[in-house]
Chains A and B, each alone.
Chain A
């Protein structure tokens, strides 16, 4: 079945550091890929998405590129801020209405 594997956290970075959260997937066909963010005490919000190979999703300084050859969708940001502290979920949709989520990676950014 479909699955998403993302790097385990927690991840602690200093402000202005470079962020990478790895995400790889297994799916039949050609899935769409997503990154969701969950701030403390809140629901999930879509951060970015990509629907086909080589697409780059971007939002709020975050980027991720859909790499079909490596089945990956790694999340990157060049300079993190304290306000980026949250849990980040990689997810895919491969032909149904549902999303298949990774386990989440908690990011803490310290001043």
Chain B
């Protein structure tokens, strides 16, 4: 099984450029999310979705947009990249709430550098 697939794996952007990080899952999971990982800070939630057509903000949403038109896909858009968005981005999915013990599955990450 492919699980959670992210593309691209590596990307260098110039300040002000826009781009989309792609995320797809083949497990028919309702819940999907995007985290960013910065040195010494663990992972922080950017945006999440509890189903097609439903999205909401996480802890650090500024500078990012998301949409969820299908169950499988959850792209993350950077509209005008800034050096502060240099980070490793992880997409995740789960069948249900982690509180209930559901496993959250992570993609392999996308390394983004903004110069």
Which residues of chain A have a CB within 8 Å of any CB of chain B? 4, 31-32, 34, 36, 42-46, 49, 51, 89, 93-99, 101-104
- Write the nearest CB–CB distance from B69 to chain A, whole angstroms: 19
Majority secondary structure of chain B interface residues (helix, strand, loop or mixed) = mixed
| Contacts known (A43-B106, A97-B97, A99-B98); A89 close to B42, Cβ less than 8 A | yes
- Chain B residue contacts of A99, Cβ below 8 A: 43, 45, 98, 104
Quick check: B43 and A101 within 8 Å, CB to CB? yes
- Chain B residue contacts of A34, Cβ below 8 A: 98
| Contacts known (A43-B107, A103-B40); A49 close to B101, Cβ less than 8 A | yes
| Contacts known (A103-B40, A103-B42); A97 close to B103, Cβ less than 8 A | no
1/0 contact string of B90-115 vs chain A (CB within 8 Å): 10001001111101111111000000
B74 at the interface (CB under 8 A from A): no
Majority secondary structure of chain A interface residues (helix, strand, loop or mixed) = loop
Q: For the complex, give the distance between the alpha carbons of A20 and B64 in Å.
A: 37
B41 at the interface (CB under 8 A from A): yes
- Chain A residue contacts of B107, Cβ below 8 A: 43
- Chain A residue contacts of B99, Cβ below 8 A: 31-32, 51, 93-96
Q: For the complex, give the distance between the alpha carbons of A94 and B59 in Å.
A: 15
Partner of A51, one of B4, B41, B58, B100: B100
Quick check: A103 and B106 within 8 Å, CB to CB? no
- Chain B residue contacts of A95, Cβ below 8 A: 99
- Write the nearest CB–CB distance from B24 to chain A, whole angstroms: 14
Q: 3 tightest CB-CB pairs across the interface, nearest first?
A: A93-B98, A101-B42, A43-B106
Q: What are 11 A-B pairs at a CB distance below 8 A?
A: A4-B42, A31-B99, A32-B100, A32-B101, A43-B109, A95-B99, A97-B31, A98-B58, A98-B98, A99-B45, A99-B98
| Contacts known (A89-B42, A97-B31); A42 close to B108, Cβ less than 8 A | yes
- Chain B residue contacts of A44, Cβ below 8 A: 43, 90, 106
- Write the nearest CB–CB distance from A100 to chain B, whole angstroms: 8
